[in-house]
Amino acid sequence: MPTCQKKDQLCRCIDWPDEDFDVEIDHFIRNFEFLHVELEYASLDAREPVRVCRIGRCRVCGGRMCDGTTLPPEKTVRELMPTICLLAGLAFQQFGYPLPAGTSSFREVFPTLFHEEDQAFAKQWLSEPEGWHLMELCCGDGSGGTER
């Protein structure tokens, strides 16, 4: 499993750094309850790794569980928008995650994954043909998740 960058309150059921991979996978599959997606990045134009994380909690101990995809630093966040959109949208779709209160679609949630100062850029990208098309692709009707 990719290592979660946030060490606070991780699942304590097994010793993640030293446990057998098969035990980790089994525990993760059986006990992962999806909560939301987090996007970790330095800035829109930095050529540094970008991490898209499915964040959840352990059904046994309640500790944090993370399954992340690290995108290579060869491209900026601006250049990775299609990949970020697909990874985040598919995470919501895969788990049938209820959308946060006050939102009616994944299209509304997507910009909130970004730093506050970058949310206008994310909204603009979604309004462009590429963003619109990818939202339709990964979320069917453009919403993703399920309404609360």
From its phi and psi, is residue 5 left (phi > 0), alpha (psi between -120 and 50) or beta? Answer: alpha
Q: Which long-range contacts (CB under 8 A, 24 or more apart) does 86-89 make?
A: 86/134, 86/137, 86/138, 87/37, 87/52, 88/37, 88/39, 88/52, 88/113, 89/134, 89/135, 89/138, 89/139, 89/144
pLDDT single digits (tens) 5-36: 566 678 989 888 888 999 999 999 999 998 88
pLDDT the model gives residue 4: 54
pLDDT the model gives residue 104: 77
pLDDT the model gives residue 5: 57
Q: CB under 8 Å to 90, separation ≥6 — which residues?
A: 138
Q: What is the DSSP letter of 105?
A: S
CA distance 13 to 23: 11
Domain spans, the chain: 21-139
pLDDT single digits (tens) 119-144: 999 999 999 999 888 888 776 654 44
Nearest CA to 17 out of 38, 33, 30, 2 is that of 2
What is the value of pTM for the model shown? 0.79
Banded model confidence at residue 1, pLDDT cuts 50, 70, 90? very low
pLDDT single digits (tens) 41-98: 999 999 999 999 989 999 999 999 988 899 989 999 989 999 999 898 888 777 666 6
Q: At residue 146, what are phi and psi to the nearest 5 degrees?
A: -135, 150
